[in-house]
């Protein structure tokens, strides 16, 4: 009689199992995979900023591989959900800082569903030869879906965004966040397979060459690929340099009412700019070619309020350089989160309207349903923001500066479009005053570091209340501020115009990996169908 593989989706019961010594031990073993999945999710969270423990992502996925390998799709679904909860609950706790635990828990519950579906898929493909490849591609496919739905997606927590200090970072220049994240997950699953092969070889005295080769390649290829990609990472100037000033004016108070005191936030940023101007005149600071203010740095509409316009005019004349000012503007009945290019002689000369606006923060989906659940939430977003439609690249003192406003930094397309539209430098004006001293600002700063390497551009991060920073094209932070302090950063930075493979390829690597995932899943399902038919003969 010839043994057949168990159908895909069914547990593998062909391997000998030790009989537990007691019912208590049996219960413990039954719950062990669930505990491992949840704890590995927490381990993945610990690998993310502000910690620099990027390498913990590898044992996190190795442990997930142990929990999922050889199980049915239903078990994979549950274990994947536990892994997602362990990862996302602590990672996204900042979303409930000012609005309470309800929205935070709801967001995590929904986002963890994507991880659960990936877990089910990984369990299904885990019996295929070279399963780490298919499993890692499935994770990438899950991230691709999560970045697009629901409500135009929520990419926060992409594996790539935890790798700003890591060995694999140069891969961002090869294929963007999908390739970087894929490499990390592949290496993690490969690590599990390598340990498994070593244990089996020690126990049996025999080495299965195909399994050992697959494990070795799963670990070695991502590492060697990252080392080979290092020449793509450079901070050399291609188009000369520019001296940039990043202004962090601070806010009167943290929380949702950070701008409750009329014109206070604008005054703070104007005051810090004028302080810097005085230092320039005294020879204590370099004169900037242009100045970058954060998102919402003008807490009142400068087009509708003469006093706000006068304050910005005065600051621009004092520093003698164009300023990119963040404001909330109402135009033609539309509310816009806008960056305004303010010339010291001409006033406002160009604008960029944020295109990827934040659901439940800048607009409220399902407003009537949400209002029926809790009318306080609808009052927090009383009027929806409108979306911009065009990339934002300001010409500032001869430098092409691409604007990526806050939440947009999480979306691959929003950053790439500025570079393909000619940006020599990227600015990510942000406002994190509503999230107090949470980890949100460090998570977002790590995104900007990954984007710097992905597109080989200097990235500046002007933030209302911290942490503001200047990031070189190789991902290094050269200057940064503290939190909830007024400060300014001035630095001569390299300008670059060449495009990395990631910039040129755009979404293509992600599409390829999604197709790989679909191919692996299709193969596994077909193999399972054949196995069931053979078993029924």
Distances, alpha carbon 241 to alpha carbons 305, 319, 386, in Å: 36, 19, 35
> Measured over all CA atoms, what is the biggest interatomic distance in the chain, rounded to whole angstroms?
91
**Bridge partners of residue 363, in order along the sequence:** 359
Active-site residue, selected from the candidate residues 10, 40, 406, 408: 406
Our CA angle for 483, 487, 492, nearest 5°, is 115
406 is a catalytic site residue: yes
**CA dist., res. 105 & res. 93, Å (int):** 8
Helices 131-146 and 508-536: crossing angle, nearest 10°? 120
Please, are residues 125 and 134 in contact by the beta-carbon 8 Å criterion?
yes
Residue pair 172/450 in contact (Cβ under 8 Å)? The answer is yes
Pairing state between β 469-471 and 458-461: antiparallel
Helices (H), 374-506: 375-380, 412-420, 440-455, 501-505
Strands 290-292 and 323-331: parallel
| Whether 339 contacts 373, CB under 8 Å | no
Active site residue 354: yes
Contact 433, 439 (CB under 8 A): no
Q: Is 187 a catalytic residue?
A: no
Nearest in space to 401 (alpha carbons), one of 352, 441, 445, 447: 352
In angstroms, the CA 49 to CA 72 distance is 34
Q: Answer for the pair 238, 500: CB distance below 8 angstroms, yes or no.
A: no
510: number of Cβ within 10 Å: 23
Catalytic residue among 158, 272, 338, 354: 354
Taking only Cα atoms into account, the Rg of the chain, rounded to an integer number of angstroms, comes to 26
* Active-site entry in 98, 111, 295, 338: 295
Known catalytic residues? 295, 354, 406
């Amino acid at each position: 009689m010839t043994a057949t593989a168990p159908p895909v989706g069914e547990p593998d019961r062909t391997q000998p199992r030790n009989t537990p010594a007691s019912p208590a031990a049996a219960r413990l073993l039954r719950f062990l995979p669930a505990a491992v999945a949840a704890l590995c999710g927490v381990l993945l969270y610990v690998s993310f900023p502000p910690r620099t423990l990027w390498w913990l992502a590898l044992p996190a996925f190795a442990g997930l591989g142990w929990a999922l390998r050889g199980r049915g799709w239903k078990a994979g679904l549950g274990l994947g959900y536990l892994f997602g909860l362990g990862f996302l609950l602590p990672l996204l706790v900042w979303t409930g800082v000012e609005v309470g635990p309800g929205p935070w828990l709801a967001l995590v519950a929904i986002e963890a569903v994507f991880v659960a579906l990936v877990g089910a898929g990984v369990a299904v493909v885990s019996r295929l030869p070279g399963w780490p490849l298919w499993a890692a591609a499935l994770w990438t496919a899950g991230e691709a879906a999560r970045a697009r739905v629901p409500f135009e997606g929520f990419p926060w927590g992409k594996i790539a965004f935890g790798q700003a200090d890591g060995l694999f970072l140069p891969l961002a220049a090869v294929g963007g966040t999908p390739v970087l994240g894929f490499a990390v997950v592949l290496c993690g699953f490969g690590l599990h397979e390598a340990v498994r092969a070593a244990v089996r070889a020690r126990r049996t005295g025999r080495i299965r060459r195909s399994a050992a080769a697959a494990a070795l390649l799963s670990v070695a290829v991502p590492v060697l690929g990252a080392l080979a990609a290092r020449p793509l990472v450079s901070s050399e100037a291609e188009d000369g340099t520019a001296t940039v000033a990043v202004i962090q004016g601070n806010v009167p108070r943290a929380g949702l009412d950070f701008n409750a005191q009329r014109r206070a936030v604008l005054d703070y940023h104007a005051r810090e700019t004028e302080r810097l101007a005085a230092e320039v005149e005294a020879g204590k600071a370099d004169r900037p070619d242009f100045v970058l203010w954060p998102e919402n740095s003008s807490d009142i509409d400068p087009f509708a309020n003469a006093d706000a316009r006068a304050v910005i005019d005065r600051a621009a004349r004092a520093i003698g350089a164009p300023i990119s000012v963040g404001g909330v503007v109402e135009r033609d009945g539309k509310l816009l989160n806008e960056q305004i290019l303010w010339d010291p002689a001409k006033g406002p000369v160009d604008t960029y309207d944020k295109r990827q606006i934040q659901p439940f923060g800048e607009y409220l989906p399902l407003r009537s349903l949400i209002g029926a659940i809790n009318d306080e939430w609808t009052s927090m977003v009383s009027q929806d923001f409108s979306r911009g439609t065009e990339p934002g690249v300001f010409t500032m003192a001869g430098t092409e500066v691409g604007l990526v406003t806050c939440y947009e930094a999480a979306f691959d397309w929003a950053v790439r479009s500025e570079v393909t539209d000619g940006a020599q430098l990227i600015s990510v004006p942000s406002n994190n005053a509503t999230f107090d001293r949470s980890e949100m600002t460090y998570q977002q700063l790590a995104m900007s570091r990954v984007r710097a390497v992905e597109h080989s551009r200097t990235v500046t991060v002007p933030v209302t209340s911290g942490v503001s920073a200047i990031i070189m094209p190789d991902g290094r932070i050269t200057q940064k501020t503290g939190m909830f302090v007024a400060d300014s950063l001035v630095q001569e930075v390299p300008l670059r115009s060449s495009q990395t493979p990631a910039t040129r390829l755009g979404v293509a690597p992600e599409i390829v990996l999604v197709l790989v995932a679909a191919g692996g899943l299709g193969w596994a399902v077909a193999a399972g169908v054949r196995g069931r038919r053979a078993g029924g003969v």
